């Protein structure tokens, strides 16, 4: 039985992960505009791809909705280094 059900996990990832990435960036103090400029936009595309294929979506949701008030991404986040470097760059420009 082929059809939508075979592709549902990918559809869910494509719909939810970019939203989670945006929330993670906001919480980390990352400007999406500035992040999109890193490496001519390639770093942004790599980060977005990592979010889409991330195996820690549940942990991400729990961290974002939980009581942890840290602004740096949790260790499970594959983009934590990218987000941190973007936030550091932005704070050094202010």
What is the tens place of the pLDDT at every residue in 3-45? 444 445 555 555 566 788 998 898 888 998 989 999 999 999 9
The model scores a pTM over 0.75: no
Whose tokens are 């490496």? That residue is: 39
pLDDT at residue number 55: 87
- Pick the more confident residue, 83 or 6: 83
In angstroms, rounded to a whole number, what is the distance separating the alpha carbons of residues 81 and 86? 9
| In the chain, % of residues over pLDDT 70 | 76
DSSP annotation of 73 reads P
């Amino acid at each position: 039985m082929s059809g939508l059900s075979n592709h549902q996990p990918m559809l869910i990832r494509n719909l939810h992960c970019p939203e989670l990435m945006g929330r993670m960036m906001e919480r980390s103090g990352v400007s999406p505009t500035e992040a999109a400029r890193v490496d001519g936009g390639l770093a942004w595309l790599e980060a977005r791809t990592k979010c889409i294929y991330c195996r820690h979506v549940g942990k991400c949701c729990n961290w974002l909705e939980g009581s942890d008030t840290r602004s740096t991404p949790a260790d499970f986040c594959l983009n934590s280094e990218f987000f941190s470097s973007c936030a550091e760059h932005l704070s050094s420009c202010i």
